[in-house]
Amino acid sequence: MWYVVGAIVLAVITVFLMPKPPPGPKPSTVSDVRVPITEEGEEVGAVYGTVWITAPQIVWYGDFSSKAIKSEGGKK
């Protein structure tokens, strides 16, 4: 009986003495990404085929929203 009580007390003490893990990385924001964008009044050229562009102009660059990654963790 005393062994069970001692094991429970030691388990509780162990949980309180465990070091906390460091926080995860911060999510990136739109200001972290450097994308060349088109200014108002500039012409947007159309390129067909494979060519080298010296001054690219990005009109639209996708969605910067983020979602948490959730996995099932090894279920087969």
pLDDT at 49: 86
pLDDT at 70: 77
Q: What is the mean pLDDT of each run of 10 residues along the chain (76 residues)?
A: 92 93 80 72 80 75 73 65
Q: Which letter does DSSP use for residue 37 in this model?
A: B
pLDDT at 23: 86
**Do the domain assignments include residue 21?**
yes
**Do the domain assignments include residue 13?**
yes
**Do the domain assignments include residue 15?**
yes
Comparing CA positions, the residue from 14, 18, 16 lying closest to residue 6 is: 14
Domain range enclosing 15: 2-26
Based on the structure, what is the number of domains in the chain? 1
Q: Cβ(15)–Cβ(35) under 8 Å?
A: no
Cα–Cα dist 10/17, whole Å? 10
**Do the domain assignments include residue 59?**
no
pLDDT at 76: 58
Query: pTM for the full model?
Result: 0.32
Cα–Cα dist 73/76, whole Å? 9
pLDDT in tens, 44-65: 777 888 888 777 776 676 776 7
